[in-house]
Amino acid sequence: MDDDKLISKKDVLERMGISYGQLYRWKRKGLIPELWFIRRSTFTGQETFFPEEKILERIEQIKDMKGDHPLDDLADVITQQVNAKLQVAFDRLKDLKWFDASILDACRIDRTEGGPLTIQETLCVAVLSALRRSARDEELELVRKTLRERLDPVLLDRVTEESLQLHLLRKRLSGGGISAEISLAVIGPAGIVLDPEIESVETVDLGHLLERIKLDLAKETEAEPPAAPSARNTEEER
Amino acid sequence: MSDEKRSASLSGAGHLSGGDYTRVSISGAGKVSGDLKAEALRISGAGKVEGHTEALQIAVSGSGAFAGEVVADEMRVSGAARIDGAARVKELKCSGSYRVKENIQAEYVKISGVLRVGGDVEADLFKASGGFEIEGLLSADKVEIRPGGRCFAREIGGERIDVRRGGYREKGILLDGFVRMFTGRGAAEVRADVIEGDEIHLEDTAADVVRGKRVEIGPGCRIGTVEYTERLDVHPSAEVKDQKKI
């Protein structure tokens, strides 16, 4: 999805001033995702490349933090930090064009103090806003629960990488004079095929929505100074 | 099933249903159905676990087959172990044969027999004096290999990589024959596509690319390209097609 520029492993080591030992160790500890290791054949033999922006930013983070945390805990800490970075100031929500204040209740978000929202909460607000006109209240609640319980960091990554969609579906069952309707919330890739008796109420493109949130927020923040960079820590590990 | 933990011992042909045990000992031909959790598992006959295995200690001196994942603090194999899932073992010592279909994640690995891995091997310290075949990446802070048979990994990476002659050559013909039985008749050498590390010392090694900070290419090496940043020494009997200081 991202049009990522690639950087070779040796350039990463040189630019960041780290060693092979560190890079392999960080990979083993789960600090650098396997997906970022892109192996290619070059004229000098097999070489490994990385998405430049992602790897440089991640190594910067690891170097900053490894003084304060044992390496084994760092993977968790970094995941949290990445999510924390995506937090959205609550007060800023109302500046967003698509934001619908009445949806906050349905999202069960109560921020009288104006604390920050996680990116999951923000995405939830956006999804429910998009569904509000066609979905019933119970269905909004179903979608909210689905997002709350299923939208972990792993799925959040996949939302962007695989352009996941959220489908709100209904199916009517009848027999013996009784009929009932069930609603389903499904998160999956585009182009799912349903049985003909299922009514698709609404499909929300989560990847698109997430991009839009980020873009809108980027626009809003342009005026503000960027987040304070933490002090670089150049001490050697071990 | 009761919550009370119990011990089980199978001798002769036996069958045990999975669950939570203190000690499990299989000395005949025993089969465990389902997932097994135990403080200690000892297999001295032919044992098979048909689910996942989780134990503090596992000792295999006969033949042990594990259909699922194996998680253990310590695993010692002097017979043969075959794992169809992944192995997460803090300390792994094998003087027999050890086969894993997926990855091995460990802190310490010591192999003096033979090792076959379908995925990657990750450890803090990896020591091998037998033979191995690793389809993926072999990565450790310190990789120490004394080839006693054919040693292959697609990629080897870490802080220090040290390959030296020795292994079974000096330990007699019997063990040597055993290792070769499993690894084939090839010479005792290391073969890899790529070797990367900060301190690299190689002997009897064939690799397409070696990249490192300080690199020593010793006797019996055939290397395609060496890329180094600080220092490179090449033994007169070694063959290095291309070398580049970066």
SS (H, E, C) B85-130: CCEEEEEEEECCEEEECCCEEEEEEEECCEEEECCCEEEEEEEECC
User: Percent of chain B beyond pLDDT 90?
Assistant: 79
Q: Say whether pLDDT at B85 is over 90.
A: yes
**Weakest-pLDDT range from A201-210, B28-37, B111-120, B160-169:** B160-169
Query: Which of A9, A14, A20, A237 is the mutation pick for testing B, counting most B CBs within 10 A?
Result: A20
pLDDT digits (tens, 9 = 90+) for B21-37: 999 999 989 999 999 99
Which of A86-90, A160-164, B171-175 is predicted with the least confidence, judged by mean pLDDT? B171-175
Interface of A with B in 1-40 (CB under 8 A): 9-10, 14, 19-25, 27-28
ipTM of the complex: 0.84
Q: Which tokens in the block code for residue A54?
A: 């992602």
| Nearest Cα residue to B109 out of B93, B122, B97, B95 | B93
The answer to whether the CB atoms of A21 and B158 lie below 8 A apart is: yes
The span from the CA of B129 to the CA of B166, in Å, is: 8
> Any chain A CB within 8 A of the CB of B214?
no
Q: What is the pLDDT of residue A95?
A: 65
* Per-residue model confidence (pLDDT) at position A218: 54
Residue in B119, B101, B56, B100 with CA at minimum distance from that of residue B111: B100
* CB-CB under 8 Å, A24 with B198: no
pLDDT at B161: 97
Cα gap B108→B85, rounded to integer Å: 19
Amino acid A235: pLDDT: 41
Of A23, A45, A47, the CB nearest to B224: A45
| Domain A6-85 in CATH 1.10.1660 | yes
- Measured CA to CA in angstroms, residue B195 lies from B28, B190, B200, B235 at distances of 44, 11, 9, 18
Q: How far is B246 from chain A (nearest CA, A)?
A: 9
CA distance B161 to B126: 10
Chain A partners of B209 at a C-beta cutoff of 8 Å? 44-47
Choose from B155, B160, B215, B223 for mutation: most chain A CBs within 10 A. Answer: B155
CB atoms within 10 A of CB B103: 19
Contacts of B196 in chain A (CB under 8 A): 9, 20, 24
Which of B57, B51, B56, B14 shows the shortest CA–CA distance to B36? B51
pLDDT at A227 over 70: no
Structure tokens at A193: 């095929």
Chain B CA closest to residue A45: B209
Residue B196 has pLDDT above 80, yes or no: yes
Contacts of B159 in chain A (CB under 8 A): 19-22, 24-25
The Cα B65–Cα B36 span in angstroms is: 13
Q: Please write the tens of the pLDDT for every residue from A92-143.
A: 666 666 666 677 777 776 655 556 677 778 888 889 888 888 888 889 889 9
Residue A174: the pLDDT is 85
pLDDT at B173 over 60: no
More confident residue, B128 or A95: B128
Q: Chain-wide mean pLDDT for chain A?
A: 77
The answer, yes or no, to whether residue A85 has pLDDT greater than 70, is: no
Name the E strands within A6-124. Answer: 6-8, 38-42, 45-51
- Residue B98 is predicted with a pLDDT of 96
Residue of A nearest to B142 (CA): A21
Residue B89 clears pLDDT 90, i.e. is over it: yes
| Closest residue by Cα to residue B103 from A55, A51, A34, A26 | A34
| Count of C-beta atoms within a 10 Å radius of residue A225 | 6
Strand partners, A80: none
C-beta atoms of A20 and B208 within 8 A: no
Separation of alpha carbons A151 and A143, rounded Å: 11
- Rounded CA separation B81/B97 (Å): 6
Query: Rounded mean pLDDT of B149-162?
Result: 95
| Choice among A9-23, A113-127, A186-200, B55-69 with the minimum mean pLDDT | A113-127
Do A185 and A114 contact (CB within 8 A), yes or no?
no
Q: What is residue B157's predicted lDDT score, i.e. its pLDDT?
A: 96
Confidence check: pLDDT of A237 > 50: no
Q: With contacts defined as CB-CB under 8 Å, which chain B residues touch A71?
A: none
Task: Give me the pLDDT at residue B219, please.
Answer: 94
The reply to whether B125 touches chain A by the CB within 8 Å rule is: no
Average of per-residue pLDDT across A55-79: 77
**pLDDT in the model for residue A9:** 93
Whether the full predicted model's pTM is greater than 0.80, yes or no, is no
- Among A28, A46, A49, which would you mutate to test the B interface (most chain B Cβ atoms within 10 Å of its Cβ)? A28
On average, the pLDDT of chain B sits at 90
Structure confidence at residue A61 (pLDDT): 81
Alpha carbon of A14: minimum distance to chain B alpha carbons (Å) = 10
pLDDT band, very low/low/confident/very high, at A230 (cuts 50, 70, 90): very low
> Which is higher by pLDDT, B30 or B13?
B30
Closest CA in chain B for residue A20: B197
Percent of chain A with pLDDT over 70: 72
Q: What span, in angstroms and rounded, lies between the C-alpha atoms of A6 and A38?
A: 9
Interface test with A, best of B135, B195, B198, B215 (most A CBs within 10 A): B198
pLDDT for A16 equals 94
Q: How confident is the model at residue B57 (pLDDT cuts 50, 70, 90)?
A: very high
Domain ranges of chain A: 6-85, 90-221
Distances (CA, A) of B99 to B56, B102, B115, B141: 20, 9, 6, 22
Residue A19 pLDDT greater than 90, yes or no: yes
A30: confidence class by pLDDT, cuts 50, 70, 90: confident
pLDDT at A223 over 50: no
Which residues in chain B are contacts of A19 at CB distance < 8 A? 159, 198, 213
Using DSSP bridges, classify how beta strands B46-49 and B29-43 pair: parallel, antiparallel or unpaired.
parallel
Cβ–Cβ below 8 Å for A24 and B246: no
